Amino acid sequence: MASSSLYQRELAAAVKAASLAARLCQTVQKSILSSDVQSKADKSPVTVADYGSQAVVSLVLKMELPSESFSLVAEEDAGDLRKDGAQDTLKRITKLVNETLSTDSTYNISLSEEDVLAAIDSGKSEGGPSGQHWVLDPIDGTKGFLRGDQYAIALGLLDEGKVVLGVLACPNLPLASIANPDRDASQDQIGCLFSAKIGCGTDMQLLNGSTAKKIHVSTIENPADASLFESFEAAHSMHDLSSSITQKLGVQAPPVRIDSQAKYGALARGDGAIYLRFPHKGYREKIWDHAAGFIVVSEAGGVVTDAAGNDLDFSKGRYLDLDTGILVTNKKLMPLLLNAVQDALKEKSLSTSLL
Ligand SMILES: Nc1ncnc2c1ncn2[C@@H]1O[C@H](COP(=O)(O)OS(=O)(=O)O)[C@@H](OP(=O)(O)O)[C@H]1O
Ligand SMILES: [Mg+2]
Ligand SMILES: [Mg+2]
Ligand SMILES: [Mg+2]
């Protein structure tokens, strides 16, 4: 067990940063305008909320931890916002950031557009195996955010290449199990925050501030009783491959498809027992898409590996170097899951070599 005071200030700062960023995202999601959505060079969407959330997290961490050196590896950068024609968008982001920070009575500041650009661009660190680095996905699941579905603000801290704490704010995740088709959605309390610190377990609280309780992964041992999470977007994970794996395992329930690292949070509290992610060939996973989710699941008693059963290595810079895909489940099911994955991958490579 790690000492309970280790990383305590950092965890409190991370919870505050992610909660304020979630507030900004909720404001934007309520009033999403098509002009708020831009397309990055790789055609993926980015919104005023992605930029605003990144600025808020960066500013709050710096204000809460003023004496510490600051390194942030984050998804977005302000390059497009500095271009001609982006002035109105930048104005809107700056207003949103100032309004969000002013909801916390301890902050009495007014940021300029240049301050906001600088806060966004402070996320350009390369990370790596030495020292401490914050890792941020300001909105994970931007497509889900745009659809009004699940998304997460995902913030982790690396120390000497290892994830030592993580916070996942999931503004649209119900408190009740997301995998239960019989739940009455109109009765749901919505908005969950997961937090984990190395050696200290995982907590969940309502985003609006209820007291935290410890959560644990599912104790299911028979794969027939397990349910599966996977990406909502088929472009992000091969649904046919996870379907052949779950057939081998005898999983009965249909897959639950939700966006973002909300899948890690839902698995950490036992809503489902397996999360499979198989990106199409050539895609390289980024550390911000997994760091917070990884520790939220690990500290809740779960296991996260690549498709060959190797631990994830967050010390290699902005990308995760891994074999084929990501598997998440409890300790009892992992050996069975690994066998099924290996079999399904062998069959897939045989069938493609016959084409
Ligand atoms: N081609 C491809 N393959 C795999 N993954 C990709 C791909 N393209 C994008 N991404 C990343 O997926 C992140 C969204 O997470 P999920 O796949 O879990 O959710 S979703 O179902 O796609 O909404 C998403 O995170 P955000 O950009 O933060 O939304 C991306 O980092
Ligand atoms: Mg993105
Ligand atoms: Mg992401
Ligand atoms: Mg993102």
pLDDT in tens, 107-119: 999 999 999 999 9
Once rounded to an integer, what is the mean pLDDT over residues 239-256? 96
Long-range (24+ apart) CB contacts under 8 A made by 34-39 are 35/89, 36/89, 36/92, 37/146, 38/80, 38/89
Q: What is the mean pLDDT of the chain?
A: 94
Instruction: Determine the pLDDT at residue 180.
Output: 79
Instruction: Determine the pLDDT at residue 83.
Output: 95
User: Residue written as tokens 């919104």?
Assistant: 47
- Residues 134, 59: Cα–Cα separation, whole Å: 12
Calculate helix-pair angle for 8-30, 87-102, nearest 10 degrees.
120
Residue nearest to atom 28 of ligand 1 (CA): 140
Q: Are residues 172 and 294 in the same domain?
A: no
Once rounded to an integer, what is the mean pLDDT over residues 85-101? 96
Percent residues over pLDDT 90 in the chain: 85
Catalytic residue at 305? no
Instruction: Determine the pLDDT at residue 39.
Output: 78
| Of 301, 258, 297, nearest in space to 151 by CA | 258
Q: Is 2 inside any structural domain?
A: no
- Residues 289, 299: Cα–Cα separation, whole Å: 18
Q: What is the CATH number of the domain that holds 27?
A: 3.30.540.10
Q: What's the gap in Å between 339 CA and the centre of ligand 3?
A: 28
pTM here?
0.95
45 CB-near residues (< 8 Å, 6+ apart): 37, 38, 39, 142, 143, 146
What pLDDT, in 10s, does the model give residues 158-212? 999 999 999 999 999 999 999 877 777 777 899 999 999 999 999 999 998 888 9
Instruction: Determine the pLDDT at residue 354.
Output: 60
Ligand 1: atom nearest CA of 258 is 21
Cβ-based neighbour number of residue 208 at 10 Å: 11
- Ligand 1 pocket mutation pick from 42, 47, 150, 289 by most atoms within 8 angstroms of CB: 289
Check whether 40 has a pLDDT greater than 90.
no
Instruction: Determine the pLDDT at residue 2.
Output: 54
Instruction: Considering the candidates 89, 94, 100, 142, report the single residue annotated as catalytic.
Output: 142
Report the domain count for the chain.
2
95 within 8 A of 34, measured Cβ to Cβ:
no
Sheet with 152-159, side-by-side order of all strands = 72-74, 132-140, 152-159, 162-174, 190-197, 202-206, 213-215
Percent residues over pLDDT 70 in the chain: 97
Ligand approaching nearest to the C-alpha of 259: 1
Q: Is 274 inside any structural domain?
A: yes
- Residues 273, 119: Cα–Cα separation, whole Å: 38
Q: What's the gap in Å between 48 CA and the centre of ligand 4?
A: 12
Ligand 1: atom nearest CA of 140 is 28
Ligand 1: atom nearest CA of 42 is 8
What pLDDT, in 10s, does the model give residues 59-70? 999 999 998 899
304 within 8 A of 298, measured Cβ to Cβ:
yes
Catalytic residue at 103? no
Q: Which of these three, 169, 197, 215, is where a domain ends?
A: 215
274 within 8 A of 251, measured Cβ to Cβ:
yes
Instruction: Determine the pLDDT at residue 187.
Output: 78
Instruction: Determine the pLDDT at residue 321.
Output: 87
Q: Are residues 174 and 299 in the same domain?
A: no
Q: Are residues 54 and 196 in the same domain?
A: yes
Which burial class, exposed, middle or buried, applies to 148 when counting CB atoms under 10 A from its CB (0-12, 13-18, 19+)?
exposed
Domain range enclosing 250: 223-354
Instruction: Determine the pLDDT at residue 292.
Output: 99
